[in-house]
Amino acid sequence: MTKRYKHRQKRRSKVVRWQKGMRFVSSIVAGVCVSTALFLIGAAGGYSYVAAHHLPTLDVNRLASQPHITEVYDRNGKWLGNFARSEDFESIHSLQEVSPLLVQAYVDAEDKTFFKNPGIAPLSLLRACYQDVVWHHIVSGASTITQQTIKLVYFPEQQRTLERKLEEAVLAIEANHFLSKQEILIDYLNHVYFGKYDGKQIYGVKAAAHIMLGKSLQNLTPAEAAFLATIPNNPSEFHPIQHPHATLTRCHWILGEMYRCGTLSKAEYQQALNEPILKELKHPNMPLFGNHPYLMLDDIQPLVAQLLVDHGLYANRESAINALPFSGLRIYTTVDAHLQNRLEDILANNPSLSNCNLPNPVHPQQYDLLEAGMTLIDNHSGGILAMSGGRDYRDDQIDHANLARQPGSAIKPILDYAPAIDCGQLTAASILSDRPTIFSKKPLFAPKDDDGKFRGDVSVREALIHSFNVPAVETLQKISPQLGFAYLERLGLPIGAQTLTGGSSLVEKDVQLASAIGGMTHGLSVTQLTDAYTALANQGIWRQAYLIEKITDANGHLLYQAKPVSRRVFRPSTAFIVTSMLEDVVKRGTGWHIHQTYPHINIAGKTGTTDNEENGWFIGYTPDYTLGVWTGYNHNQSIPMRVYQTKMKLWEAMMKPLLNAQANFPVPETVTSALICKDTGELANLQCLMTHRAVKEYFERGSVPDKICSRIHSPIQTESKQIPSNLPVPLPDDLWPEASQPPDLIPGLTQP
């Protein structure tokens, strides 16, 4: 414990005693400033009294202490990480450690009356009151250094309201009474925020001088002192890399103030103006990121910041992100640390991602890595159990798990087929046309499959299994794009939807037929698409995917508790029927590789590719978990066929410990089955059975076809003829007498 801290410890009880008698007085001092502007002295005095009684107790030790690091935990209370390290905060203990030029730069720029004022500037309070009355919000943010210190420590959310100004003023008056001006300056210089620079959040002038200038605080030039006093006024606007002109303009203005206040001579001022301060900035090596960088920095940090803004704890997302690393919060997530570690290990070390690099089209001397993003969701809760945006954060800081991309055929189950079956327009046995079709001429839209072939009449089930494009567009045309997108909205994907981290997603012009096969403006992220698929696994009930369970402050007071939305989107029969089709996708369709690896596990899923094979998708689910995978290159290069199965291999590796051979998709009571002719979609006749054209299909009760197939099929299926009307007509399999079923012709066709 430092001498400075011990010295303040003795004064703490004096502060409390003084506050009991003087807080009302100090609040009236601030309130009188308000009353002058409002001409309501009585109201201002009452307002001040109320505000004062809601203020935290001034703790001089808190002003002197280092900020508390925010901690993040998994769903079992296991530590996941934080957004900063304790060594990122470097404090000073005496002004002797600081160049007088730096102290004077802050005083001349921020608070010229600092050494004389009582902790507040009455004129500034009057100006704030006037702005509140005229514009209903405070425009200017000018405060004394003492008020700024109070704001940094007690009110880091930086809200500009009249009440907050008054609270800052009351605490500033109290701090000015108990602390010397030198102590206040030390506290201020230790807490001042410089924003994010080269991947590091910088707090305090000592860390800023070390990281940005590579110098100690005692050896600063006037230009360097002015530079360090420039950024904290607005770390985003005066970011030296992103906004060098604005930064230099304010830096020169501060030098002018130092000259006008007598801190600098004319010669020193002119020399400082000519110093190339921005060219002298240091660029340290990329910092060693802590645990789970994609999850922590790209997902949890911005998401928590937005939640805090939504709950009124911060004025905007930027200020929340800036304050988060040292705000002392405790963030509890839905993440399972074991599964998160497994996912990151797979992305970093899985052999299927090795030797897949292509020449970089922009920088030929570099490689374009095959990247991947993955999200794992608990179907029963909607909690995100694991998520990562890439292979190595040092090589690629794009969060591929939450970047919207065209979903290709992976959109078909939730935009086309499930809505069409749910609203009664189609059944799994309905026949669709896979023929050359022009759906629109301006612009021309005539979809085809990658192989350029067309198959004629196909059932809905076969169209989805083999991912034929024309039948998918025909399906969306039958129900209308408006209805399809209405279902997406129920799945948490409305027009204007954003990704988990706030990126653009669906837009109004996506409501068109091209979206039936994934032709969207921005598309969807892995997390969004994975979340939508969970409704199929949950018998039609969608549960909003969420990452943050709760947030508390350093003292355990609850600030946020998740209340995820859930609602029914599809009928249970629809979810089961579509799931049964997606099981066939895995067993004998485009997802065959997974069935080959896990032949005895009930797995449903859908692949997706986009034009020129630039995006590779697989969204697969079991009764308990849904895992989404995207693979591709940052420069939109085609994925080589030799690595086409990579998305499935990643899915297999991640899901291996989670697969349960005993888990089945429950069959709803509203589902029945019947023998269907796969050529016509009608009830199978005896010739259908004998020529192996009969298949078992699932239906919502009441939607079984009532017409019997009128074809006779040759054994080699070259042509069909009309059946004579006097031949006996078979019954659907659920009505067929058990003794009459020829077991050698319909093996395995038992009622579910």
Query: Kind of pairing, strands 330-333 and 200-203?
Result: unpaired
Which pLDDT tens digit goes with each residue over 161-173?
667 778 888 888 9
The reported pLDDT for the residue numbered 640 is 82
Amino acid identity for residue 214 in this structure = G
**Which of 219, 528, 302, 301 has its CA nearest to residue 403?**
528
Give the strand pairing for 200-203 and 193-197: antiparallel
Distances (CA, A) of 739 to 683, 686, 742: 19, 16, 8
Rounded average pLDDT over 475-481: 98
Q: Is residue 199 pLDDT above 70, yes or no?
A: no
Read off the tokens for 10: 């003795």
Least confident of 123-127, 240-244, 358-362, 500-504: 123-127
Rounded to an integer, what distance in angstroms lies between the CA atom of residue 521 and that of residue 586? Answer: 28
Q: How many CB atoms lie within 10 A of CB 748?
A: 6
For residue 435, CA distances in Å to 48, 454, 471, 544, 593 come to 77, 5, 9, 38, 28
Looking at the chain, the whole-number percentage of residues with pLDDT higher than 90 is 60
* Rounded mean pLDDT, 384-404: 91
Cis peptide before 752 (omega within 30 of 0): no
Is 141:110 a contact under the CB 8 Å cutoff? no
Among 67, 51, 105, CA closest to 225: 105
Pairing label, strands 625-632, 671-677: unpaired
H helices of 155-243, in order, are 162-178, 181-191, 205-208, 222-230
First to last CA, the chain: 72
Count H helices, E strands: the chain?
26, 24
Strands 384-388 and 711-713: unpaired
Q: d(Cα 446, Cα 342) in Å, to the nearest integer?
A: 43
Residue 332's pLDDT band, with cuts at 50, 70 and 90, is very high
Residue 748 has pLDDT above 70, yes or no: no
Q: 310-328: per-residue pLDDT in tens? A: 988 888 888 888 888 888 8
Instruction: Report how far Cα 295 is from the mean position of its chain's Cα atoms.
Output: 9
Residue 720 pLDDT class (50, 70, 90 cuts): very low
Q: List helix spans (H) across 571-679.
A: 572-588, 592-597, 646-655
Q: What torsion, rounded to 10 degrees, do the Cα atoms 659, 663, 665, 667 define? A: 170
> According to the model, what pLDDT value does residue 447 have?
95
Kindly report, residue by residue over 341-375, the tens digit of the pLDDT.
999 999 999 888 877 777 777 777 777 788 999 99
Higher-confidence position of 67 and 733: 67
* Residue 146 buriedness (CB in 10 A; 0-12 / 13-18 / 19+): buried
What pLDDT sits at residue 27? 52
Give the C-alpha separation, 382 to 565, whole Å: 9
**Distance, CA of 644 to CA of 229 (rounded, Å):** 54
For the chain, domains (ranges, CATH) are: 3-280 (1.10.3810.10), 408-658 (3.40.710.10), 671-740 (no CATH)
Q: Classify residue 569 by burial, with Cβ atoms within 10 Å: 0-12, 13-18, 19+.
A: buried
Q: Is the dihedral of CA 168, 169, 174, 176 positive or negative?
A: positive
User: 346 and 340 in contact (C-beta within 8 Å)?
Assistant: no
Burial class from Cβ neighbours inside 10 Å (0-12, 13-18, 19+) for residue 737 reads exposed
> In Å, how far are 123, 372, 500, 701 from 402, measured between CA atoms?
48, 11, 6, 39
Q: Which tokens go with 609?
A: 């590719």
575 near 542, Cβ under 8 Å? Answer: no
Rounded to the nearest angstrom, the gap between the alpha carbon of residue 222 and the centroid of all alpha carbons in its chain is 43
Q: What is the pLDDT of residue 589?
A: 95
Kindly tell me if the per-residue pLDDT of 227 is higher than 70.
Answer: yes
pTM metric for this prediction: 0.77
Cα 30 to Cα 438: distance, rounded to the nearest angstrom: 74
CA 307 to chain centre: 11
| Pairing state between β 541-543 and 566-568 | antiparallel
Specify the DSSP class assigned to residue 608.
E
pLDDT reading at 4 higher than 60: no
Per mean pLDDT, which of 135-139, 578-582, 690-694 is the most reliable? 578-582
pLDDT tens per residue, range 429-460: 999 999 999 999 888 999 999 889 999 999 99
- Over residues 279-283, the mean pLDDT reads 86
- The predicted structure's pLDDT at residue 642: 82
CA distance 376 to 300: 15
